[in-house]
Structure 1
């Protein structure tokens, strides 16, 4: 009895001979439609029963009609019908009706049921949700995403030997067993303004394509779980050796910046009020101090405007401008000293050497303006609030090269100028063995060039390598005291300024001030002459009376 399978229709031919037509009967049972064609026909000479039974195939409504169940739903085909169900994370709009185009599936807000627990916050997404646990808590499994406490005491060595660890919600405490006392009694509480950072010892590839590895402290994947003045709990999302770095940054930075601003103000007043050498143009060092003072003032109040987006963006741009301007004026000061050294043994007539003031202003403020303007055009969102909660340059898209690039270029030019200055001093150094005073002046100029380069240049180099607390503290101190160092180099160690200071201090004693170096014998004779002139006038007045 052959079986024929034609286009999904199962045809069973039960008749060996040709069957003639008879009756048709349609039977229906629930969702399954069956068509039975029952035929009976008497053959010639013998009666035979012929039965022809065939089943028609089901129509797949899910494939035939797109979107038959509506959005965010699944369609399941059945024999003669179909079933609609909502996707995971979605529910039907009207629960009393089945899903469909008129009764679609919408997102279920799982956060309404406080699904993450009391130690976490729920973030609802389209079709799902995310639990963000508080510090010191974690999600144990995806099946039950409830934030649970981290039992730090499971780490047996966390409190050390002969100690007792007590787990608390989000933290833990350490105590000694009876009969034991803490071995280190020199620990001090964390200051109120102290900032703690959890870090771990990270191995990375050496820079510059060199072989080997470099080790450094990294805070990637680590956070402060709990902190108070007596102890701090660190949590890391990876297994590694980690430690705690305490940054006493805020109060130390403020004290150092205030001291540096005081000496910057003294230096600015000195450069404005005193013109002790007509051969030297003080424009570069004056504006160097001014830009340093403005940048220090902005750094002092930098964290006060992080909540105001516009103010924070403007402050970051101004800070970038003043810092770049400080380096440009440092370069101009080095150029001025270089030009002075070149003419040290040639110029006999009193005149001001160096570049004219309009050109100095154009370079000193034009170059920083162009750098900041181009940086803002390339990446306008690069100025503003950073992850460190300060108004500064963004770390995205390597935007910090807007400062690092010009700084490196200026430091390189300073090195070239320093070498050129030494080269220009060769004939001068060869001819000053008999002139002791000129030798002292030349050495003082060299000292000023080198000291200024170290003070302004190397300080910012340290800022690029703040890998531990020591370098951070050194950078804070040296960077904030740039004005103090400039005041010492250009004012305290300057004999003309020293003479003027002595003149101001003894002004009420009728001392005659001079901008030239002081000669004790000459000053003594002048004081005697002034005394006799004053007494002579007094004698004449008495005679007249």
Structure 2
């Protein structure tokens, strides 16, 4: 086994598989089965990378690995008078073996389970046809789809896109003479990828060189799992067919997304630099804006990098899950800080002055930071605890099955509704103030500036995210949604940095400090 662990050639893996076929020890120790299975599957996976462009080699490798795996698991079957079971979990395969003896008193066999699949089989009925002894072996392969690809599904629609929606599973009756089933076998297969609306699900089994549906049918399906019924045992999988046009990426939207998000990130960074190096009047609270910029910058940058390197990230499911949870936290933090900014703006407009000392005590920096991040952290923590499998979709984002997407949309909808109400109240308050200040021209001018900034706050407070509910099948709405919501950092920079007289004066002072001769050059130009 030590020598075989360094296999790097096809002849080596063939030697390993042949040796497994010739094993005669009965029964085999569980640890030996584990080690040999890992060796066979992992070594075959390495070799399959070099032959990934040759379907025939992949099919041959896959069939040999399946045959060797079933042989190894069958070696776990041992005599029993009542019943016994053996199960184990490895990175590449999960297996469970259930054995029944002549003195069994069970009325029915418990459901056999792995992480992503389960099987219901009438083993009691099979026992009666086998002199009261029988065994069933159930295996779930986590990486077998790399060898037995969904493209091997034999279907008349050659233009459809085929996607493996479940782990590859195998069910056999080892050491059982009469393998005839008394009832159809039902498999419950959990979806390992996001279901595409309009996709056609097929329960298939492996017929040496191709996936076919003969003898298998779909009993029930939803966005998270599918129940298959088959009249025979074999190697099974769940494959989804979708229209090729439905899965094609839109190059224009990809480029627009890259450009828009990149521009937003640049101005977001400029806003953060301004907040960091410019001095502000005492009492002006920029905590919400700074943390909103940090959350927006982190969320958009991580999302952009994740999507750009998705092909490298997706094979590592653990990394994909971690990134999707972190993105969930960051985007929720963005919306909580939008809510805090809306509340602070509303208080400021109501008073038309600095926030009172009592209000400032309640809205201290520490208190705001706790609200801004703890709410998002608790929401993600509860989501992970209740539905840990809800993360890690094909885009390394939240799964939509079981309505889990509402763990994000729920808080977002609440915050958007509150922010919209606050925004309307701000407009009403400002309109009332303008009416009372007709005679005070200078004060009215300041208030008009506040009105302009408040209108720009419509974007900063995240209100355009509402457009997301109307983007389906509407390209113009989708583009508008993308542009507005990727530029929140840009609007923050415009409102609180570029249009702020105090900040502009500090910009000028900074330029004079870097260019001492700028004033002399300006005077010389004016004289000319």
Q: Give 3-state SS (helix, strand or coil) of 1:105's partner.
A: coil
Question: Partner residue of 1:223?
Answer: 243
Counterpart residue number, 1:127: 232
Aligned-pair CA distance for 1:293: 0.3
Match among 332, 340, 361 for residue 332 of structure 1: 340
Q: Provide the residue aligned with 2:142 in structure 1.
A: none
Alignment correspondent of 2:365: 357
Which residue, out of 366, 378, 396, partners 1:391?
Answer: 396
- Match for residue 421 of structure 1? 426
271, 276, 291: which is aligned to 2:295?
291
Question: Is it true that 1:489 corresponds to 2:495 in the alignment?
Answer: yes
Name the residue aligned to 2:410.
405
CA displacement, residues 154-198 of structure 1 (integer Å, 9 cap, x when unaligned): xxxxxxxxxxxxxxxxxxxxxxxxxxxxxxxxxxxxxxxxxxxxx
In structure 2, what is the Cα distance between the partners aligned to 1:274 and 1:464?
Answer: 39
Give the structure with higher Rg (CA).
1
Contact 1:110 1:124 in 2 (8 A): no
- Which of 248, 252, 259 lines up with 2:252 in the alignment? 248
The one of the two structures with greater contact order (alpha-carbon pairs below 8 A, sep at least 6) is 2
Is the contact between residue 336 and residue 353 of structure 1 (CA under 8 Å) also seen in structure 2? no
Pairs aligned (count): 317
- RMSD (Å) for aligned C-alpha atoms: 4.4
Per-residue deviation at 1:383? Answer: 1.5
Q: Distance in 1 between matches of 2:130 and 2:354?
A: 97
**Cα 1:223–1:495 shift into 2, 3 Å:** same
Tell me which residue corresponds to 1:503: 509
- Report the Cα offset of residue 276 of structure 1: 3.1
1:472 maps to 478
What's the offset of the Cα at 1:285?
Answer: 0.6
Q: 1-side partners of 2:472 and 2:399: how far apart? A: 19
CA distance in 2, matches of 1:92, 1:292: 56
More strand by share: 1
Residue matched to 2:273: 269
Structure 1 residues 434, 507: CA separation in 2 closer, same or farther (over 3 Å shift)? farther
| Offset of residue 333 of structure 1 | 1.3
* Stretch moving more, 353-362 or 260-269: 353-362
Q: Which residue of 2 aligns with 1:37?
A: none
3-state SS, counterpart of residue 369 of structure 1: helix
Relative distance call for 1:506 and 1:302 in structure 2 (3 A) is: same
Unaligned runs of 5+ in 1: 1-62, 73-89, 94-100, 118-122, 135-219, 225-233, 235-241, 513-522, 528-545
Shift of residue 420 of structure 1?
3.4
SS at match of 2:450: helix
CA distance in 2, matches of 1:501, 1:366: 35
Q: CA deviation at 1:499?
A: 1.8
Alignment of 1:186-205 (within 5 A): none
Aligned counterpart for 2:286 among listed residues 282, 286, 297? 282
The structure-2 alpha-carbon separation of the partners of 1:485 and 1:506, relative to structure 1 and needing over 3 Å to count, comes to: same
